[in-house]
Structures are given as structure tokens and as C-alpha cells.
Structure 1
């Protein structure tokens, strides 16, 4: 009769390695994410010029009251963030899914197409902004050159016109976002059971019906990830607008919550309390949007 073997215990070296591998990222998360977030919540109820700690004065909810009543850029920024979300959800995201579905059919030069479409995602949003700044240049830009408007009196100032600049930035952001969604959905399609497609084909379903009634519902976890990514990318949009907008101080028509936060915290006239309150509002909006959707999704799964 064999004796029961005792479970193996980790050596001292293994314990040290696991402690470092888990503890250091957690410590970095606490120091660089959660502590600043909690500090922002506390500072949102104060007024501070950002220099001397002795100048921090408690003001209660005054910052929030001024944001919603006497702070004009707030509501245009909210409206532009909503436009950003709707544009990203209705155009680049479905187009990325469409490209992924087409490239999953193993057509010729699939690898080349994947690389070309995903290439903007390799670049930072700041670099993407510089690329599109060259394209949108009113005097020597590629877009005006193609339209024959370069150097003429009728050239289009894509980034200076308040009626056009937000849409110009959205096109630049969508160019990058499409490749990201394509790669995410391609990864989901690679794990999809091909037998389900064959069964749908035998039942007489065409390609569109197979995707809408079989493939898309089966990839629900990937769809949730894509939706969360789309919402978060839209709410935290900053880099590309910062570059195309010329830095701190939003151009008319390009106001976003992230830019307002940056402008109030590190702008020429520093208002740490205002900026922190705006950051808290953005955090609550993000948590509410993602939390409501996830709660509804998981409740349906339980039922």
C-alpha cells in the first residue's frame, strides 16, 4: 500500500520570485494609479495652485457646482466625447470587424493586408497625430493637394475650422482604431469552431446570415471586450487631439474632457481643484458606462 504523497512546497527561491513577480506590479499599481486617483478625489473638494501644500483650502462641492453651472467648456466637451463615442462605435469598429471577417477567409496576401491595416496601431497616437498633421496642412498638406486647393485662396483649414476639426481628428483616430479592432476580432475568429459554419451552410445560410446568426453571437466575449475598448478609447482620447490641436488650450470645436483636465492641472493658470473634479467626473462616467453594460450582460447570462 503506497503512502500518500505530501503536496510539494515551494522553495525559498520560488517564494521570493513569486513575491517579486506579483508584489512589484501590485505596488506599482497602487503607487502610480490608485494613490493618484484617491488624491484626485480628495483634491476635487479643495482649491490649490499646485505649488505650496499650505495653500490647499477645503471648498466642499464648490468645484462640482461650478463645473455644472458656471464652467462653459464642460458641456461642449461632454458633447464632443459623446460624438467621439458614437463615431467610433458606428464606423471604425464595425469596419474593423468587417475586415477581420474578410481576412479570416484566407484570401491571397492576407498577411500583407493584416500588417498594413494593423501598422497604425504599432505607432503611438502622438506619431499618428504628426502624420495626420502633415496630411491636413492647409498649405502643403496631402489632402488639399489631392483636392487642388493647396496654396490657393480657397484652401481648407481642416484643423483650424471649428466646424471641421473634430471630424478631421475623428478620421485620424478611426484610422488607427480600425486596425486594433481587426486584430482583436481576428483572434476571436481563429478560435471559432468551423463546424458551426459548415452546419449553417448546410442549412442554407449565406455568408451574411452565417455571420449575423452564428459567428457574431458565438463571439460574445470578444464583442464585450471590443465594446469596452471602444468606450474607453473614446472617453480617454487625448494624445492625438493634443498633437493636432496644438497643445494645451483646446481649439474651438475640439474640446474634450481629457483636454480640460490637462488644461486645468498643468495649464498656465493652474486650477488643481477644477481639474481633479473633472477627472472624478470622467472616472464616474467611465465606470457607469462600462459597469452598466457588464451588469446587464452578466445578468442575462445568469438568466
Structure 2
């Protein structure tokens, strides 16, 4: 027998080990879910379940005393014909329409100014940001003293320039809403300023140098370079500010309790009054669900309008 006569046996193809490649990936997924589990449990227990329960209660007449009876859309029909609901609704819209753009514009202006180098810049940044990390209830108490017509330092200063209210800022129907608006702006402007500062520091300096070479002024550079390249930050800040203003409660509750004459009662204040004072939890849940839809729709519209104007580089 010659060497060429030896039969050649082809090696058998190795069977793919399907379980071997999937094992590490499965373990990684399991590890990820285990890390996420505590947060998911808290989210479901304290956010998702209360939301579902509130939607259910909005179709009942639950009042904490007797068992809930299903009444269909009666709560929604009632709120559509309730003057208190429409008063709170328009107060909420007024608060959001004024506070949202004022806060966004002031945050942008502060960010542009504090992006420059000058002595004491860090102190000024900290002073503007500090109100955001303080409880809004504590801030509202402090502002209530400042605006007190008898002992308030701010009321004294304003009276010195001719701005006087005999009833007091928080008890005068003309000035109560502007007072709580001022506190809302003062509270959140520092947080939005930090977001804008981060955006400003990410803009390449070469763009400003090129604009200077072209002979542009500072205002033109702000309009044609800074604003377009901050569109993503403006989108984020605007949506956050709108949601925060539509949910305004803390400073209004502490400073005015929704008065005087319901001039500062927002939808969240109305939900609190109907739910925890009148014990009409079904009706309060219906109002909260309407507010949820209102916030969601406005956020989507705002996001879509600003997203089309976003600029990338």
C-alpha cells in the first residue's frame, strides 16, 4: 500500500456551543437587572401605582369615609362646569406664561455674564445657585417676612421708591400673584443658569474668533453664534421650567394659601384643597389627571417646536 492509498478522513465540523456564548451575556443582563431592581421597585411603588390608583379614583366618589362607588365621568363633567377649576386653571396658565420665559431669559443672561472672567465670579455663581438647593418652603417663609408690610425689609425699601400697598403684598389681590411669581423665578433661575453655563463652555472658541475676524459686534456674535448653539440647552431648560411652573405649590401654600380671594390658587392648590381639606379624593384625582394631560401635551408641543430649531456642530 502506498501512501496515496491511505484513506483520508475529513475532520468532523465542531458543533457550535450555543450556550457558551450566551452565558456571559445572560449573566451581565441579570446583574444589570439586579442593580436596577431597587430603583424599579421604588418607581413602581411610589410613582406608577399611585398614578394608576389616581386614574381609577377619578371615576369614583371616594371621600375617605365610605367605599368608593364608580360614577363614570361625573367628576370630569363637574370640573368642566366648576368656576373654581377654571379660576385655578387660568391662574396656572398666567403663572406659567410669566414665570417660564422670565426664568429662562434671566438664566441665559446670568450665564453669559458669569461666563466671563472677573474677580469674585465664583462667589456670584454660588450666590445665584444657592436658592435652588434650599427648601422652597423655607424660602417662602423668608420671603413672607421680607414682604410683610410692618416688619418686612423689602416692603420698606419698595415704599422708599413709591411702591406701597396698604394691605400688604401677600394680602393685596393686585400684588399677591406677582409676589409668588418673583419667588418662583428667584428659586429656579440659578439651576437653569448652570445648565446654560455648561452649554456655553462647550462652544468652541474658534467660532468666536472667526466671527471677530469678520468684524461682528458682541451683540451679533450672541445672536448668530451663542443663541443657535445653545438651542439644545434652551430646549431642556424651557421644558423643565414649564413643568415646574405648572406644578407650582410650595411657595403659594406657604405665602398665600391660594388667596387673597383665590387670586393665587393654582391647579395643584385646588387639588390639595379638594382632596385634603374637602376630602373629595375622587374629584381631586380627576383634576390631577387633567393637569397631567395638560402638562404632557404642552411639553410635547414645546419639545417639537424647539427641536426643529436645534443646531448641531
- The TM tier, using the shorter chain, reads 0.7 to 0.9
Within 1, Cα distance between the matches of 2:77 and 2:208?
56
Question: Residue 296 of structure 2 is aligned with which of 284, 287, 290?
Answer: 287
Within 1, Cα distance between the matches of 2:26 and 2:101?
53
Give per-residue Cα distances to partners, 1:122-159, cap 9 Å, x unaligned: 1111111011011111221112322458xxx9744111
Within 2, Cα distance between the matches of 1:28 and 1:212?
45
Which residue pairs with 2:3 in the alignment? none
Is the contact made by 1:45 and 1:273 (CA closer than 8 Å) also made in structure 2? Answer: yes
Which residue pairs with 2:10 in the alignment? none
Which residue pairs with 1:271 in the alignment? 280
- Structure-2 change in CA distance of 1:245 and 1:251 (3 Å): farther
Which residue pairs with 1:141 in the alignment? 152
Is the contact made by 1:245 and 1:251 (CA closer than 8 Å) also made in structure 2? Answer: no
Once the 2 structures are TM-superposed, how far is the Cα of residue 218 of structure 1 from its aligned partner? Answer: 1.2
Once the 2 structures are TM-superposed, how far is the Cα of residue 58 of structure 1 from its aligned partner? Answer: 1.1
Once the 2 structures are TM-superposed, how far is the Cα of residue 40 of structure 1 from its aligned partner? Answer: 0.9
Once the 2 structures are TM-superposed, how far is the Cα of residue 100 of structure 1 from its aligned partner? Answer: 0.3
Give the gaps of 5 or more residues in structure 2: 1-20
Secondary structure of 2:141 counterpart: helix
Find out whether 1:56 has 2:68 as its counterpart. Answer: yes
- Structure-2 change in CA distance of 1:290 and 1:147 (3 Å): closer
Once the 2 structures are TM-superposed, how far is the Cα of residue 300 of structure 1 from its aligned partner? Answer: 6.7
The alignment yields a C-alpha RMSD, in angstroms, of 2.5
Is the contact made by 1:93 and 1:177 (CA closer than 8 Å) also made in structure 2? Answer: no
Give the gaps of 5 or more residues in structure 1: 1-5
Which residue pairs with 1:3 in the alignment? none
Is the contact made by 1:162 and 1:253 (CA closer than 8 Å) also made in structure 2? Answer: yes
Question: Residue 254 of structure 1 is aligned with which of 264, 276, 289?
Answer: 264
- Give me the TM-score of the superposition, normalised by structure 2: 0.84
Within a 5 Å distance, the mapping from 1:43-82 to structure 2 comes to: 43-52=57-66, 55-69=67-81, 71-82=82-93
- Structure-2 change in CA distance of 1:188 and 1:202 (3 Å): same
Is the contact made by 2:176 and 2:260 (CA closer than 8 Å) also made in structure 1? Answer: no
Find out whether 1:196 has 2:210 as its counterpart. Answer: no
Within 2, Cα distance between the matches of 1:36 and 1:241?
24
Is the contact made by 2:59 and 2:75 (CA closer than 8 Å) also made in structure 1? Answer: yes
Within 2, Cα distance between the matches of 1:172 and 1:188?
26
Question: Residue 215 of structure 1 is aligned with which of 210, 226, 233?
Answer: 226
Once the 2 structures are TM-superposed, how far is the Cα of residue 296 of structure 1 from its aligned partner? Answer: 4.1
Is the contact made by 1:121 and 1:180 (CA closer than 8 Å) also made in structure 2? Answer: yes
- Give me the TM-score of the superposition, normalised by structure 1: 0.87
Which residue pairs with 2:56 in the alignment? 42
Is the contact made by 1:249 and 1:263 (CA closer than 8 Å) also made in structure 2? Answer: no
Number of residue pairs matched?
Answer: 288
Which residue pairs with 1:21 in the alignment? 35
Within 1, Cα distance between the matches of 2:158 and 2:304?
48
Is the contact made by 1:138 and 1:155 (CA closer than 8 Å) also made in structure 2? Answer: yes
Which aligned runs of 4 or more in structure 1 are off by greater than 6 angstroms? Answer: none
Once the 2 structures are TM-superposed, how far is the Cα of residue 91 of structure 1 from its aligned partner? Answer: 1.9
Which residue pairs with 2:101 in the alignment? 90
Give per-residue Cα distances to partners, 1:58-89, cap 9 Å, x unaligned: 111111111111x1111121111111112113
- Structure-2 change in CA distance of 1:162 and 1:249 (3 Å): closer
Within 1, Cα distance between the matches of 2:87 and 2:118?
45
Is the contact made by 1:95 and 1:178 (CA closer than 8 Å) also made in structure 2? Answer: yes
